[in-house]
Amino acid sequence: MRKAVAKVEAVPPGEMLPVDIEGLPPIVIFNLDGELFATSNICTHAVARLSDGFFEEGVIECPLHSGCFDVRTGEATEFPCEIPLKTYNVEVDGDDILVEFDEA
Ligand code: FES
């Protein structure tokens, strides 16, 4: 299911935007040098919202224990995170950001 989740202007380069839509998993949109990526907003190590952490150079650092993930691939890059983060396909249609969610 593809869904419009935000406007492109809401996520400037270098920024991230948490998106919480009822009935869908919480995600974060990242703007990495003009390219958009989306991942789950919940750390795979414990329960923490990654959008409360730090986004720098394509990496999101969890606010709870400082584990890290590559936002492009979801790969866990820093201990204690080992399980990859779920990623979502992102498209831009005009000024809308569209994210592909799994069918419920
Ligand atoms: Fe994210 Fe522990 S909850 S690193």
Question: Domain holding 45: CATH number?
Answer: 2.102.10.10
For 1, 56, 93, 94, the CA distances from 50, given in Å and listed in that order, are: 23, 12, 26, 27
Indicate the residue type of 25.
P
pLDDT at 104 over 90: no
CA angle 56, 62, 65 (to 5 degrees): 130
pLDDT at 1 over 60: yes
Nearest to 69 by CA among 90, 89, 53: 53
Strands 87-88 and 76-78: unpaired
pLDDT digits (tens, 9 = 90+) for 69-94: 999 999 999 999 999 999 999 999 99
Domain that holds residue 74: 2-100
Instruction: Give residues (CB < 6 A) around ligand 1.
Output: 43, 45-46, 48, 62, 64-65, 67, 80-81
Residue nearest to atom 3 of ligand 1 (CA): 46
Percent of the chain at pLDDT above 70?
99
* Total number of domains in the chain: 1
